[in-house]
Structures are given as structure tokens and as C-alpha cells.
Structure 1
Amino acid sequence: MARVGYKLADGAMWLLSHLPLGVLYPLGYALYLLLYYVVRYRRKVVMANLAASFPDRSPAQLRAIAKDFYLDFADYVVETIRLGGMSEREIRRRVTYENLAMVLDCLKEKRPVVAYFSHCFNWEWVTSLGVVADVEGSERSQVYRPLKSKWMDAYMLRIRERFNSRCYAKATVFRELLRRRKEGITTFTGFMSDQKPSHNDPGYVTMLLNHPTAMISGTETVARKLSAAVVYFDMTKLQRGRYHVRIVPIADDASLTTPGEITERYTRLLERNIERQPSIWLWTHRRWKHRVELPAD
């Protein structure tokens, strides 16, 4: 019975993914109305996060950001569905990159690259990077956390790997990247690093959006061990269905940096990204549920 359900879900998603965005966006707007006004999906969490992050904003300004966030979140949902049926030509038109030559030069020089991502919309579309960074002898990949739903996990892996890219589980990514290096393959790997550190990651505590925050330190550890060049993908939503990614250098060789230096630079870049366009960050998570203290000077 479960297998039949999976097949039906696959069929429904295939049909939806082949609808143009002009048809999907009205569905997204209906989803926005449902989430914001009817279900009130995590409204208290979103408003609390915004109020603590932007204490200088008025209640009216915070509500405006929240509404924009739910609109952008609904766009993200239908855009991610559309990714499953989008052509290479269309994704090239909808996502543009600045400073891409910096990454291409590293790959041509056989130097691995670690890219810091964040939960800024629409991060799923950036998994299509393989169509613009296809250097011979290199591999594009991203790290993911397996989802509890087997069907959803398989579906997300399928659409994330459509455009000449691979997904590696967080628990095995370093081993996989070492294996690729032994095989003579230069890797360009994206790490989503604005989540809470896992239990086996000691984390790096710094200020983020007016909060003492434990940041993931594992990305920096991997980059240092690989002697990788490190960049940040700064996201801007230009309009519905149009995104611009500015590739910002963080370190030319991670092994030459001091512990915490890369994570601190990433945090400052992330903070500026969010402050510039707050509605595109994922505010529904309880990012600061557990308080942490800044280290003593």
C-alpha cells in the first residue's frame, strides 16, 4: 500500500513540476493565505525571532517583514516543486552568478572549493550550479541531512541532483570528499551552515542578529583539512523566480587560517545578507531556543 502511495505522490509531483511558474505562483499565493491567516503556521516563532533580531523595528515593520517572509516561503515551495521539471535553459535564466570565475579558476587549478550556503530563498535552485561550473575533472556537490520521510527524502535527492550535482550525507561527506581527491577529482561542495550544530559538533559561539549563537564549526574543519578555498554564496531575490548569487571569498586556503576565523567571517556575511533582505531567510526554526553564552575574552 505504501508503494502505491509513493507512486501516486511521484505522479502528482511530476505533473505539478511541469506546470509553468505562472500557474504555480497563484497556488503559492493561496498557500501563503492559508499559512499566514488560517493555520498561522509558526507565527509566534517567526514574530519572536524577528522582534529579537531587529529590536529597532516597530511592530508594524516587523509584521510587514513577516508577511513578506510567508509570501517568499510560499514562492519557495512552488519554485522547489518546479525545479523537478525545469530545463537547463530556464534555470540558467532564473539564477545568475557574480564572481563565478573565482571558483572556476580554483577548479581548473585542481584546488577544492567549500561554499557556505544559508537558508535564504531559494537555496534549492542553487543546486543547479553544475550547469555553470562544469569543469573537466571536477564534481559539484552539496551536503544534506536525510529526511524522516523516505519518500520525501528520495524526492528531494532526485531534484537536487538533476543538474549535474551530487548529494552527500552530513555524516559521510568528509570521507566522500577524501575519496574523490584520491580519485583525482576536484570537489566544489556546498555546506548549509546556518543551522544549530549537531550533538557531535562543538560549535563556534558568536553574535548573530543580536543573539549569542552557536554556529556549525564542522564546515570550517572540513575546509581546513582539505586546504580548500572557501566562499560564501550571498543570495538576493530580485523578483519572483529571479535570484542573484554573489560569490564572496572567505579564504584562499583554509588551512592557513586560525580556528574560528572562517566561521566568524561566514557569520558576518550571513548577517549582512539577512539584514539586507530579511524576508528571504527561514524564520520558522527555533534557532535560539537554547541559550548560549559568548566565550570570555
Structure 2
Amino acid sequence: MQLLAFVLIYPFLWIVSILPHRLFYGLSDIACFFIYRVFGYRRKVVQENLNLVFPDKSTDEIHRIEKEFYKHLCDMFLEMVKTMNLSKEDVAKKYHLVNPEVLLEIEKERSIIILCAHYANWEWNVSINNYVNSKGYAVYQKINNSYFDNFIRKTRARWNTTLITQAQTAKTVIQNFRNNVRATYGMVSDQSPQAHRAHYWTDFMGITVPIFNGGEALARKTGLATVFLKVSKVKRGHYKAEFTPISINSKETEEHEITNKFLRLTEEQIREKPEYYLWTHKRWKHRGKKPAAFADVS
């Protein structure tokens, strides 16, 4: 069944990936109409999240953000498909690195963990590895269909990126550290961990929730540098990315310092243009469930 699904779906995705700009985003508009207006995909979740984190915004403003979000969501999904036929030259025109010299300077001395959020187009973040000299890794969610998963891995390899699952991350980072392999790791770090497995709770967008801090733990253990990646949507199909160093030698930081800086930078990014954040994700589902053991942790 997995092979059949791949054989049936792949040709359609390939055709979509080569559509010219006008037709490509016209298809996105059609998809948005059905996903937002007809099927109402996760609209209750989106509305709940927006009202939760923006209590001072008017109903009209919340509605505007919601509509713009769904338009962007469909753009981004199709842009993921377009990756199938994007060359290094093509993606460089669509995803502009403002200050790659930040990474190039740091990697002379140590490996780097790049922390980013589910914001703008995080799928094209892997193209950053076209600019660095170290070995590039990206942490990703494995696809259940093994044929599509293998295809995605091969596609990202064109951009000098090796995909690793969350379960493989710690082993890979520590092994490379011990073998003196210089590497750059990309992690989307704003996801919601399972409440019973969380090691840290703090405020995110003004609401106390469990926080994923695996990137910080690995960086502090190995002394890697951490860098925040801010991606901005310039216009349809075009983004710019800018790096902000969080720590150069993470062993010298205090516990939670890296995670807290990442959260504050992410919040700043979201408040600037909230329509480009992933509001369909149930990021605040564990609010109000902070265990007593974390009562004094902030």
C-alpha cells in the first residue's frame, strides 16, 4: 500500500512543483478556499490559540490574522512540494541569507546548533547548509510512508543536508563531538513536549507551558555554539533569514539561559508578524498543568 500511494501521488506532486509562479500560487489560493472556507481545517484550534495569546487584539484583527495565516499555510505547504525541483541556485533566489558570515566565523572554532521556530518557511531552512563548510544536519519528523521518507532524505541531500530523527539527535551530536567532526545542526525547537516528559516549564507568549530544551542540553554538554534563526517573509515565495548568536561556548551559560533567549527571540518574531506562525499546532494544550515539582522553576 505504501508503494501504491507513492506511485499515485508522486506524479501529481512533481507536476505541482514545476508549475510557473502564477499558476503555482493560484493553486495555493484554490487550496486555501477549500481548507479554510469549506473544510475549516483546525479553525477552532487556530482561533483558540490566537485569542489566548492576543487577548488585547480586537475581533477584526484576530480574524485578519487568521485569514492571512491560512493563506500562508497553503503557500508554505506547496513550497514544500516545490522543493522537489529547486536547485541550489533557485533556492538562493527565494531564500536569502542576510548574514551567513555569522555561521562561517563561528564554525572555524566549534560546531553550531541553529534553533528556529515553526515560522515562515522552516522547510527551506535546510538550504543553509549550502553556505557552511561543516557537515549539515537537520532534525525532522520521520514520514510513515518509507518511500516518501526515503525520497525526502534524497531531496535534502542535494542541499548538503543529512536528516536525522529526534531519537538520533543526541547520539549524532555526541558522536561527532567525540570524533572532532565539525557540524551544523538545525532544530525547530518551539514544539510542545509531552507534559510528563518535560524537564522545564516557563512562559511562552505569556502562558506557562512545558518547554523543549533538548538543544540547550546538548549544546551545554558539548560546548557547541547556539544561534537563533529568524526567517521573515518578504513576499510570496521569497524569504530572508538572519542569524543572531545566543551563545558561543554554551558550557559557559547558566541553565535555561539559552532556552529563555530562544523563547524571547521567538516571541518577538511572532508578535512582529503573527500570521506567519504555525497556529494549527496545539502549542498551549498543557497550560494550567504545571506539576508542583516545577513550582519554583522559571
TM-score range for the pair, normalised by the shorter chain length: over 0.9
Matched, 1:169 2:165: yes
User: Alignment partner of 1:237: what SS?
Assistant: strand
CA change 1:106–1:27 in 2 (3 A) is same
The structural deviation recorded for 1:152 is: 4.1
- Pairing 1:127–2:126 present: yes
1:41 aligns with 2:34: no
State the AA in 2 paired with 1:280: Y
Partner of 2:225: 229
Shift in CA distance, 278/42, structure 1 to aligned 2, threshold 3 Å: same
Alpha carbons of structure 1 residues 160 and 199: separation in structure 2 relative to 1, 3 Å: farther
Structure 2 residue runs of 5 or longer lacking an equivalent are none
Query: Which 10-residue stretch deviates more, 156-165 or 190-199?
Result: 156-165
- How far is 1:154 from its partner? 3.3
Classify the secondary structure of the residue corresponding to 1:171: helix
Residues 98 and 200 (structure 1), Cα distance of their counterparts in 2 relative to 1, 3 Å cut: farther
Determine the C-alpha separation between the residues in 2 that align with 1:199 and 1:145.
19
Q: After the TM superposition, which residues 32-111 of structure 1 pair with which residues of structure 2 at under 5 Å, given as runs? A: 32-109=32-109, 111=110
- Structure 1 unmatched ranges of 5 or more: none
| 1-structure distance, mates of 2:199, 2:31 | 36
CA spacing shift, 1:47–1:257, aligned 2, 3 Å: same
Give the deviation of 1:198 after TM superposition: 4.3
Per the alignment, residue 141 of structure 1 pairs with 137
Task: Give the stretch that moved more between structures: 244-253 or 179-188.
Answer: 179-188
- Which residue in the other structure is 1:260 paired with? 256
Shift in Å, 1:218: 1.1
How many Å separate the matches in 2 of 1:102 and 1:201?
A: 34
User: 2:199 is matched by which residue type in structure 1?
Assistant: G
Moved more, 2-11 or 67-76: 2-11
Query: Any idea what the Cα deviations from partners look like across 1:13-33, whole Å, max 9, x if unmatched?
Result: 223222233321111111111
The change in CA–CA distance for 1:5 and 1:147 in structure 2 (over 3 A counts) is closer
Distance change >3 Å, CA 46–CA 99, structure 1 → 2: same
What amino acid is the match of 1:101? E
User: 1:257: Cα distance to partner?
Assistant: 0.7
| Counterpart residue number, 1:210 | 206
Distance in 2 between residues matched to 1:175 and 1:200, nearest whole Å = 23
Aligned partners of 2:137 and 2:162 also within 8 Å = yes
**Please, what TM-score do these two structures have when normalized by structure 2?**
0.92
Is 2:273 aligned against 1:274? Answer: no
| Distance apart, 1:79 and its partner CA | 0.8
Letter in 2 for 1:203: H
Structure 1 residue 285: Cα displacement: 1.3
**Kept in 1: contact 2:2–2:147 (CA 8 A):** no
Secondary structure at 1:148 match in 2: coil
Name the CA shift for 1:12/1:254 in 2 (closer, same or farther; >3 Å): same
Q: Quote the offset at 1:116 in angstroms.
A: 0.4
Amino acid of the structure 2 residue aligned with 1:150: S
Match of 2:191 among 186, 189, 195: 195
Letter in 2 for 1:176: T
RMSD: 1.8
Residue 197 of structure 1: how far off its partner (Å)? 1.7
For 2:31, the equivalent position in structure 1 comes to: 31
The structural deviation recorded for 1:289 is 1.4
| Shift, 1:226, TM fit | 1.6
SS of 1:143's partner is strand
Are the aligned partners of 1:197 and 1:216 in contact in 2 as well (CA < 8 Å)?
Answer: yes
Counterpart check, 1:19 vs 2:19? yes
